[in-house]
Amino acid sequence: MYTPETSRSSTLTRLARMLRSKPVMRQMIQTSGIRELILGSLSLTRDLSACGTGELRTICYHHVRQHEMRDLGRQLDYLKNYGEFIDVDAAVHLMKNDRFEGRYFLVTFDDGYRDTVQNALPVLVEKAVPAVMFVISGYLTGELHELRADVNGKFLDRQGCLRWTEAGMAIGSHTHTHRRLAELSEDEVLRELVHSRSVLSDLLGTFVTHFACPWGSPGDDFHAHRDPMLAAQAGFSSFFTTVRGPARAAGDVFNMPRDVIEPTWSNWQLKYFFGR
């Protein structure tokens, strides 16, 4: 039967297909106003309260600038209405149980920028939301600062990372040099992983057991048949990607999806990406 609701749903479905299939359209929606309008409309067909038998949604941030702190808090408050925030160890343990009920959220930050501690950490503490930060260990040792003059002041030092962990947050590895794993040999990948884990563990006095792949797209950025196994061999208990979607079972632990988002995104956009 034709109704305005079915007509709206079919129109939005056709729009979503068009956006996925046309690069020009995908580029166009990077404009924040257009993106907000389109995803806001598409979100009308999504239900954030529905999650099936159980799912973990992992959120990936990079920068949180000072003027974005309030937006970050807004996003966390909004998502708390639809699931429970848990830490990275609990998330991996949950996945290994294979079957679980409800929705859980895990917050992650990539690269180890100073604004993660300066701006994101106070919001996380205020909201009682745990998080893990995946750090490029070469910036902590100073090795990469010597190679790139443009990074001075952007990345955390050891004291900044300790401030993060002392607040109850976790540290993970994002490699030592942030190289694209797909371009490295098996031996080179293993050296990157082992060295980064060793450096971070020694500098911070904690066991570093979680890994997030730089850029994180299978095929382009890492070899799905090789690199997660090398991470396990290096002593990591997880391998995070940037493939969007939920994790639901033990098989996801070394292929953990993450949704990369910005703290300024509206609740409508969150509903679109995390709803069903």
Q: Is the pLDDT of residue 34 over 50?
A: yes
Fill in the DSSP letter of residue 8: H
Q: What is the model's pLDDT at position 8? A: 44
pLDDT in tens, 146-205: 555 555 569 999 999 999 999 999 999 999 999 999 999 999 999 999 999 999 999 999
The one-letter amino acid code at 161 reads C
For residue 263, pLDDT over 90 is answered with yes
16-31: b or e for each residue (b if 16 or more CB lie within 10 Å)? beeeeeeeeeeeeeee
Buried b (16+ CB within 10 A) or exposed e, 138-150: bbbbeebbeeeee
pLDDT per residue as tens digits for the range 176-189: 999 999 999 999 99
How far apart, in Å, are the Cα atoms of 97 and each of 31, 80, 165, 253, 257? 41, 23, 27, 11, 17
Distance separating alpha carbons of residues 174 and 60, to the nearest angstrom: 13
What does the pLDDT read at residue 41?
Answer: 62
Q: Are strands 259-260 and 55-61 parallel, antiparallel or unpaired?
A: parallel
Q: What is the DSSP letter of 236?
A: -
Residue 63's SS3 state is: coil
| CA-based nearest residue to 49, from 12, 6, 75, 79 | 79
> Of 75, 105, 35, nearest to 263 (Cα)?
75
Max Cα separation, the chain?
A: 67
Q: How far apart are CA 203 and CA 73, in angstroms?
A: 30
Q: Which tokens go with 214?
A: 């730089």
SS3 label, residue 167: coil
Amino acid present at 144: L
Q: Tokens representing 28?
A: 């166009």
List, for residues 105-150, the tens digit of each pLDDT value.
999 999 999 999 999 999 999 999 999 999 999 999 888 865 555 5
- d(Cα 254, Cα 86) in Å, to the nearest integer? 18
In this structure, of 23-32, 136-145, 225-234, the range with the lowest mean pLDDT score is: 23-32
For the entire predicted model, the pTM comes to: 0.85
Q: Which helix (H) or strand (E) holds 229?
A: helix 227-233
Quote the DSSP letter at residue 176.
Answer: S
Band the pLDDT of 242: cuts 50, 70, 90: very high
What percentage of the chain exceeds 90 in pLDDT? 70
Taking the C-alpha atoms of residue 152 and residue 145, their distance in angstroms, rounded to an integer, is 7
Tokens linked to 2: 């034709």
